[in-house]
Structure 1
């Protein structure tokens, strides 16, 4: 015990700062996941290899950890990482997955990433049952704290609690199907109103979802016929996710709910977003608030919408049509992208499927 006394109290140093789950496609995965944010204090510099008996105690209580592959990519990989020395947040991730496995839930996806500040981490674990996922993450933290403190003997009670929790009813399913999902840093609601003005006012849902919501809860639906990404200039998320490559990844989550070969509308010159959308199996349509669409955009776009003077022009393959005129009651980008979305939906859907769909503007 004298050796343990020289280490800081893990229950003081290692603390959960937030815990929540996502049920739809999200920043990290298309799978439902549980997310925990941690601050680990002095344990930023204390690994599993630094604590005498840590690995033996943890694996004795949870023998299934021996089979975890981890980044080494084969059974026993995580055990090797423990012996060589790995850190608190990463260990909590694996323990949360193993706890779910011990009650028969076959989950395997997990990730641990550093935050904006040294000692802050976000860990992600897949779940089948939302309540079990949340509780397994919290219990995993307590188990790892006990292992660092040298007081871990068994996880029998934790497993029994999760098994009982698994019998509780699961939450109702997500909205299954939308006409269109919209995200971006600005003008989401204006774009939705423009689509309504263009005639999409029936029972089909058009949802604008903030990047902050996607980050914290995932998409609130499972499928949309098309999606719109207005921009990646985000103001409602932490600085860590405003970094351009992360912001682009975050807004591109809406593509994960669009069927394969479906269409996602993105800004011209946002080539990284265009690539992410295509990697998700979707086709790209692009828009600009002027007439500056590059050859690189046109190389991948199945259609484009631009502005010439006050006219909104849509080009598809070798055909160019005048699709409407700008007005002064909505932002230009909202008008252009809504016109392109209406044009796209009217191509995709039969008239009976879109109540009173008026198509493009008069």
Structure 2
């Protein structure tokens, strides 16, 4: 078979918000198969075999068949290269550690051109996977070599750069479980939970409630000890020293054995324990000095190190450290024993999937110091049967949450409260965490701000603890059972007929209700009546700014079909979704929208995202618009100028009480629920003469959906033009 020409990637577009395909971000690629349009997979000799050899897990792809092996069945029957590329990219993402299940490929009106999409949590990762998948598919088609391991490693590297850390990811996942939206604010771990004025921010396990003063106190171990000791919390006696000689002098005053540590270190770096001689104390000084600004000598507390996680004044998880030993065999060096007896444990590694760290002498001066104190070096060969201490208090990876004594919990919570931290990692040493500290001479040795959560999420021994959920519950308490914590009211308005004026009018009504309202429309970006940006703000990047703004208590977004097709909606869900019409297909040729019949599939997105206790507002005068009501998770309000409109009458008669509708009667808006009617005050002739019926009724219906009182709706419509003239 002759070599096939390359598939051309005509256009690659990242859809950040809810879109034509799904609620979630996707990478959309327009493909020109060229001559491969005439070569389905069952006509490409050896291609299927090469694909399954490189990517054996393709057998797990159900595809449209709906069962394991479904995609392989499609390959054998014959499917087109765009569809194959979709599955290749998805499998590369799976191999790289960013599991992806969603993808679709659809033909366009142009022969050989397809639109292929796949779920994409990060744009750069998705683009990298697409590039490698493209090369892999062409190599399979043309029987050429392909470096699969290199491709997966490259995508994995990009995944590692973009992924949230484990602590942040656990909190975000817990927020998602409660349907609290999140926005990543930088390339690191700064994340906004919720929208507008109801947002909270986290940075790993720190929140916008975490005091900078408290962080500063926690970073100074000596100051922390003095403060908590003054409130009755047991702490080891200690002193800050400036030289090795001072360290030995302090050790003699405190009484041996002692511990030497940096005053502001973390993760146990530079901490030497159970020091009993002048040589050991003075040797520990430079190790601690390298890891912090000052060195602290304190009384050594016998026992195991523990980490208690305190969230909002409660202990929610606890973990115990492990002591690492090796046993000599008379032949192997200490380094070889560490590799054979400790690092061989599959739980040890360098990634977040490993609860225990690999032990490497060159990376841990404390570990080297422990071996040196025993008269050995990493290259020494201990005699057979000799036990060698490698790490005195290693990874805090043994869950012991259920064993913590109530008095110990009280002391840990008290220490966090004294320092002033909403989330704190309390390090304490105790021989038995199930007994009060004072009974066993235990003590709290550190209070940490921004504690890591991985030890509680993936302990080496014991069960994981839902610490992310505990933090989310503290940030968004369930008092009153708010079904949509973190959300501000959002109104999305889609269509072409007067949508800019409707959006501005609805924003004005919400503002009269006493809310600070953000507005993104064709006239610009606004907060209340102050314009933040000129020009068309029906763009994802501009509109999204409202959701980040802490001053926004409600937001109104004007959308059209182009917004959905180009970027996706700026918000994940909305309180009120309005669709006015199905016009405008003529302007969408670049998206392969060629007929009016394609418009409902695009504009349904606005109704698909209405919350289950929200409201879809639809124009009953257009049967295609009214039909979208069947897709709405929430309630539906239909509007039409004529009360006799068939869709309006049918909706009004639904159910025992009837559906809500808005229409005109004698020039006055009427709000009706079943047979019950509320006639609003008559509007002035000037307003009636200036405002089209559809605009008026859409705004009235949206105001009603927002629970704005009828009198205020009329007052807002009457005063709108005087106060909201476009700049």
Calculate the TM-score normalised by the size of structure 1.
0.87
* Worse-superposed segment, 54-63 or 193-202: 193-202
Larger relative contact order (Cα-Cα within 8 Å, sequence gap ≥ 6): 1
SS at match of 2:588: coil
| Unaligned segments of structure 1, at least 5 residues | 352-356
1:354 aligned partner = none
- Could you tell me whether the CA contact under 8 Å between 2:30 and 2:113 is conserved in 1? yes
User: 1:189/1:102 Cα in 2 relative to 1: closer, same or farther (>3 Å)?
Assistant: same
The CA deviation string for residues 214-238 of structure 1, in whole angstroms up to 9 with x for no partner, is: 1122111122211110111124323
Residue 580 of structure 2, aligned match among 230, 233, 253: 230
Residue 318 of structure 1, aligned match among 643, 650, 675: 675
In the alignment, structure 1 residue 341 sits paired with structure 2 residue 702: yes
Counting only pairs closer than 5 Å after superposition, residues 55-204 of structure 1 correspond to structure 2 as: 55-169=48-162, 171-172=184-185, 177-200=488-511, 202-203=516-517, 204=554
Mapped partners of 1:310, 1:264: distance in 2? 24
Calculate the TM-score normalised by the size of structure 2.
0.45
Mapped partners of 1:45, 1:299: distance in 2? 54
User: 1:310/1:106 Cα in 2 relative to 1: closer, same or farther (>3 Å)?
Assistant: same
Q: CA deviation at 1:244?
A: 3.7
In the alignment, structure 1 residue 303 sits paired with structure 2 residue 660: yes
Q: CA deviation at 1:240?
A: 4.1
Mapped partners of 2:644, 2:89: distance in 1? 50
Q: CA deviation at 1:245?
A: 4.1
Q: CA deviation at 1:182?
A: 0.7
Residue 209 of structure 1, aligned match among 559, 564, 574: 559
- Could you tell me whether the CA contact under 8 Å between 2:4 and 2:141 is conserved in 1? no
User: 1:214/1:307 Cα in 2 relative to 1: closer, same or farther (>3 Å)?
Assistant: same
Mapped partners of 1:60, 1:154: distance in 2? 13
Q: CA deviation at 1:39?
A: 1.2
Residue 267 of structure 1, aligned match among 619, 629, 638: 619
Higher Rg: 2
* Worse-superposed segment, 37-46 or 294-303: 294-303
Count of residues in correspondence between the two structures = 347
The alignment's C-alpha RMSD in Å is: 2.5
Q: CA deviation at 1:115?
A: 0.6
User: 1:199/1:76 Cα in 2 relative to 1: closer, same or farther (>3 Å)?
Assistant: closer
The CA deviation string for residues 285-313 of structure 1, in whole angstroms up to 9 with x for no partner, is: 11113444223343457221222343222
User: 1:309/1:146 Cα in 2 relative to 1: closer, same or farther (>3 Å)?
Assistant: farther
- Could you tell me whether the CA contact under 8 Å between 2:613 and 2:634 is conserved in 1? yes
* Worse-superposed segment, 69-78 or 143-152: 143-152
Q: CA deviation at 1:113?
A: 0.6
User: 1:127/1:277 Cα in 2 relative to 1: closer, same or farther (>3 Å)?
Assistant: farther
In the alignment, structure 1 residue 42 sits paired with structure 2 residue 30: no
User: 1:28/1:199 Cα in 2 relative to 1: closer, same or farther (>3 Å)?
Assistant: closer
2:688 aligned partner = 327
SS at match of 1:205: strand
- Could you tell me whether the CA contact under 8 Å between 2:136 and 2:146 is conserved in 1? no
* Worse-superposed segment, 21-30 or 197-206: 197-206
The 4+ residue runs of structure 1 with deviation greater than 6 A are: none
Residue 248 of structure 1, aligned match among 587, 591, 600: 600
SS at match of 2:706: helix
- Could you tell me whether the CA contact under 8 Å between 2:8 and 2:32 is conserved in 1? yes
User: 1:82/1:180 Cα in 2 relative to 1: closer, same or farther (>3 Å)?
Assistant: same
SS at match of 1:118: coil
1:358 aligned partner = 712
User: 1:199/1:82 Cα in 2 relative to 1: closer, same or farther (>3 Å)?
Assistant: closer
* Worse-superposed segment, 283-292 or 231-240: 231-240
| Unaligned segments of structure 2, at least 5 residues | 164-183, 186-191, 196-486, 518-553, 719-727
Mapped partners of 1:138, 1:331: distance in 2? 50
Mapped partners of 1:32, 1:199: distance in 2? 30
2:17 aligned partner = 24
SS at match of 2:14: strand
Q: CA deviation at 1:22?
A: 2.0
- Could you tell me whether the CA contact under 8 Å between 1:255 and 1:282 is conserved in 2? no
